[in-house]
């Protein structure tokens, strides 16, 4: 006979638990909302308005946190349901659940919410959510007309009279765009006398794949404002700025801000190069907290990917189209060759 933990959970029991405010909602039930069938989605839709508001908010928040920690699960169905919730916080949480959905059917919904939703946080979250689709358009995974509609909506939000939060999020999403107007907007935000606009400028720079922003990013890596410093550290990794390698290695030793240290760890894994692997392995040896160990291990995996890409870039550069430059990749290399390959710096891909 299977034990209790192995017994399948009936969705009716999950719904009953949502209504039982005398008990915390069981964390084990959260997985039941992943990849809901149409029939289960219909059941949830019927009862959703009657669920206590705080319970709805808490559920959506918990699902969002779970989705961030486990990329193999999605909550698209409940996210779409939440978009029509009368509560603005629930609507914003619903958008967050759909940030990774890559569903073009969401584009007109997000544009409508950006332009018409009465709540500023929902409008800002919708602007943020559209950024993923700008990226898809830039890599030609989205029809050109759809990309144009998204960009026009974001430009309208940025240049309009909406609150600063919405305008900032619109700029951050436009960071992915190759439209010629965008660099000027980023520069304007960077030079504004505002820490909030500086944060958004650095965020957009990181999304731009344009290393000409390197000096501006490097200048902010040791900024006194930890939020600005954090965005600069992230942007340095996204842009794979080789000049940021040593400042980030120093930050691992000197910073007392956990968020900045974690951002530096990941950015170093994106940049790679001399001294990065030993520094991360040294950190790993010193840690005892499981969550922190997991962060370093994931960064080391990403560093391996970065190093592999650097080697392939070097091989492509050396071989070119000349058949006389063909290399036998099965032939062992000398230690000197290994050092040369390992210490190559990755470029932008």
Sequence length of the chain is: 349
Q: pLDDT digits over 58-71, tens only?
A: 999 999 999 988 87
Contact 265, 276 (CB under 8 A): no
Percent of the chain with pLDDT over 70: 87
**Which pLDDT value is given to residue 316?**
59
Indicate whether 311 pLDDT > 70: yes
Q: pLDDT digits over 183-230, tens only?
A: 999 999 999 999 999 999 999 999 999 999 999 999 999 999 999 999
Give the separation between CA 298 and CA 281, rounded to whole angstroms.
12
For the chain, helix (H) and strand (E) counts, in that order, are 18, 0
Specify the residue for token string 């974690």: 262
Q: pLDDT digits over 236-280, tens only?
A: 999 999 999 999 999 999 888 899 999 999 999 999 999 999 999
Give the separation between CA 68 and CA 182, rounded to whole angstroms.
29
Two tokens at 25? 């909602």
Region class of 133: left (phi > 0), else alpha (psi between -120 and 50), else beta:
alpha
Measured between alpha carbons, how far is residue 49 from residues 20, 52, 53 in Å?
Answer: 15, 8, 9
Phi and psi for 241 in degrees, rounded to 5? -80, 110
Mean pLDDT for the chain? 89
Measured between alpha carbons, how far is residue 313 from residues 103, 320, 335 in Å?
Answer: 32, 10, 20
Band (100; pLDDT cuts 50, 70, 90): confident
If you average pLDDT over residues 308-326, what whole number do you get?
Answer: 61
Give the separation between CA 166 and CA 162, rounded to whole angstroms.
6
Q: What is the DSSP string of 288-347?
A: --HHHHHHHHHHHHHHHHHHHHHHHHHHHHHHTT-GGG---TTSPPPHHHHHHHHTPPP-
Closest CA to 107 of 124, 131, 78: 131
Closest CA to 29 of 2, 53, 58: 58
Region class of 177: left (phi > 0), else alpha (psi between -120 and 50), else beta:
beta
Q: pLDDT digits over 20-50, tens only?
A: 999 999 999 999 999 999 999 999 999 999 9
DSSP 349: -
- CATH code that applies to domain 104-206: 1.25.40
Indicate whether 335 pLDDT > 50: no
Q: Comparing 51-55, 113-117, 254-258, which segment has the lowest mean pLDDT?
A: 254-258
Q: What is the DSSP string of 97-166?
A: HTTT---GGGHHHHHHHHHH-S-HHHHHHHHHHHHHHHHHHHTT-S-HHHHHHHHHHHHHHHHSSS-HHH
Band (321; pLDDT cuts 50, 70, 90): low
The number of beta carbons lying within 10 Å of the beta carbon of residue 272 is: 26
């Amino acid at each position: 006979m299977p034990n209790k933990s192995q017994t399948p959970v009936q969705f009716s029991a999950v719904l009953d638990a949502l209504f039982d405010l005398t008990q915390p909602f069981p964390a084990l039930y959260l997985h039941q909302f992943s990849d809901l069938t149409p029939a289960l989605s219909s059941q949830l839709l019927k009862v959703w308005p009657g669920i206590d508001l705080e319970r709805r908010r808490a559920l959506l928040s918990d699902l969002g946190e779970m989705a961030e920690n486990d990329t193999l699960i999605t909550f698209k169905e409940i996210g779409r349901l939440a978009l029509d919730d009368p509560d603005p916080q629930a609507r914003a949480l619903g958008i967050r659940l759909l940030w990774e959905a890559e569903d073009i059917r969401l584009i007109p919904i997000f544009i409508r919410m950006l332009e018409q939703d009465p709540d500023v946080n929902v409008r800002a979250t919708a602007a943020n959510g559209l950024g993923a689709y700008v990226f898809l358009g830039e890599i030609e995974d989205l029809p050109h007309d759809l990309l144009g509609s998204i960009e026009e909506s974001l430009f309208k939000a940025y240049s309009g009279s909406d609150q600063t939060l919405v305008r900032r999020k619109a700029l951050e999403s436009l960071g992915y765009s190759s439209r010629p107007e965008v660099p000027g907007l980023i520069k304007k935000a960077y030079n504004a006398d505002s820490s909030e606009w500086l944060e958004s400028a650095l965020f957009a720079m990181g999304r731009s794949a344009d290393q000409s922003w390197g000096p501006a990013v490097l200048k902010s890596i040791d900024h006194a404002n930890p939020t600005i410093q954090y965005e600069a550290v992230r942007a340095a990794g996204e842009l794979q700025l080789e000049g940021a390698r040593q400042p980030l290695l120093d930050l691992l030793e000197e910073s007392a801000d956990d968020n900045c240290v974690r951002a530096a760890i990941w950015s170093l894994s994106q940049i790679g190069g001399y001294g990065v692997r030993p520094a991360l392995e040294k950190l790993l040896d010193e840690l005892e907290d499981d969550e922190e160990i997991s962060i370093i291990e994931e960064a080391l995996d990403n560093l391996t990917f970065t190093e592999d890409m650097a080697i392939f870039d070097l091989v492509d550069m050396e071989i070119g189209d000349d058949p006389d430059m063909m290399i036998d990749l099965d032939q062992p290399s000398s230690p000197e060759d290994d050092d040369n390959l390992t210490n190559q710096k990755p470029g932008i891909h």
